[in-house]
Structure 1
Amino acid sequence: MATRPHYILLPVSPLFIAFSLTCAFMLNLLPWGRWIGAPDFVALVLVFWGIHQPRKVGIGVAFCMGLLMDVHEATLLGENALAYTLLSYLAIMIHRRVLWFPVMTQAIHVFPLLLMTQAIQSLVQLIVTGRFGGWLRFVESVVAVVLWPVITWLLLAPQRRAVDKDHTRPI
């Protein structure tokens, strides 16, 4: 069925997970966050770790990252926390299934999760302010899905084993 090789990955370092979440938060702090189509890097990294390491990055981490984003964006406290929590929950629910697919098919599975996250954020803003952010806002999910292979490659890079075989290393 599959002709692509399956690699045995090294265990992920909790420091690397914290570093990647910090980098994603810092990318969201940059001024391009207000541009149309700029992806939510925190949501993208949260869904990645929710799929690849559900026991290490769970709903609690997603809630805390959501609160940080709420404070940064000066939105209603809990808006991003609610969206990220649901995103993390759904990513954990589908993680066993998604990991069997190639990266591009994984991106197709991740797209509805990211779209739902934006829909929740838009719905909360609509209820609280009475204004709709516009349909162009949902372009962020498309850009995030296009970035999924790059994010996957970057975040799995430290876990890949060396290509050259060393006879002193097991496996």
Structure 2
Amino acid sequence: MIMPRGQQLLLPARPGFIWGSLLVALMLDLLPLGRLPGMPDFLAVVLVFWAIHQPRRVGMAAAFIFGLLLDVHQAARLGQHALAYTVLIYFAIMLHRRILWFGLPGQAVQLLPLFAAAHAITTVLRLIGGAALPGWSLLLAPVLEAALWWPVSVLLLAPQRRAPDPDENRPL
């Protein structure tokens, strides 16, 4: 595959760093912040990031397991987040080559419908279960997740960046 002009070569991602970042995101989602309106789903953002950048290491099985963990913690219908995360990761993996051609703001715009669809799935499942409609604050969460894409990408790609090499005779 031909790389876009100006894109930096990255070192391989360490598996421990990948799974550690997913566990940190899970812990952020488990914080007892109450039912804050528009609270972004940090685990969804980090899962999508690794599904786009390392689709062979983080896939739908990991999304399903993390979704079940979140369902158990939140005492939600078992499989609610698991289904939403699995659908989210499926489409992220399907579109990962296309998404990587854009810059970070373009990637965030491309991912906004995916985050909105994941929240729509969980909302529909809650409504089927008899919960009340959460209101307009529900629309804030996917926008915040798309806005978090830039800082999360910079933070998670930082350990993979190569140090600048002063040797100009080396082609890569």
TM-score (norm 2): 0.91
3-state SS of the aligned residue for 1:149? helix
3-state SS of the aligned residue for 1:129? coil
List structure 1 runs of 4+ shifted beyond 3 angstroms.
164-167
Give 1:18-167 correspondences, 5 Å limit.
Answer: 18-32=19-33, 34-165=35-166
Q: Distance in 2 between matches of 1:147 and 1:32?
A: 18
2:133 maps to a residue whose letter is: F
CA drift at 1:4 = 6.7
CA drift at 1:129 = 1.5
CA drift at 1:117 = 0.3
Q: Distance in 2 between matches of 1:170 and 1:97?
A: 26
Question: Structure 1, residues 112-164: CA drift from partner, whole Å, max 9, x if none?
Answer: 00000000000000001252222212211111111110000001111100124
RMSD of aligned Cα (Å): 1.9
Aligned pair in 2 of structure 1 residues 84, 33: CA closer, same or farther (>3 Å)? farther
Q: Distance in 1 between matches of 2:47 and 2:110?
A: 15
3-state SS of the aligned residue for 1:31? coil
Q: Are 1:33 and 1:39, in contact at CA under 8 Å, matched by a contact in 2?
A: no
CA drift at 1:72 = 1.1
Q: Distance in 2 between matches of 1:38 and 1:115?
A: 13
What is the aligned residue count?
168
1:74 maps to a residue whose letter is: A
TM-score (norm 1): 0.92
Structure 1, unpaired ranges of 5+: none
3-state SS of the aligned residue for 2:95? helix
Percent pairwise identity: 52
1:49 maps to a residue whose letter is: W
Structure 2, unpaired ranges of 5+: none
Q: Distance in 2 between matches of 1:139 and 1:4?
A: 34
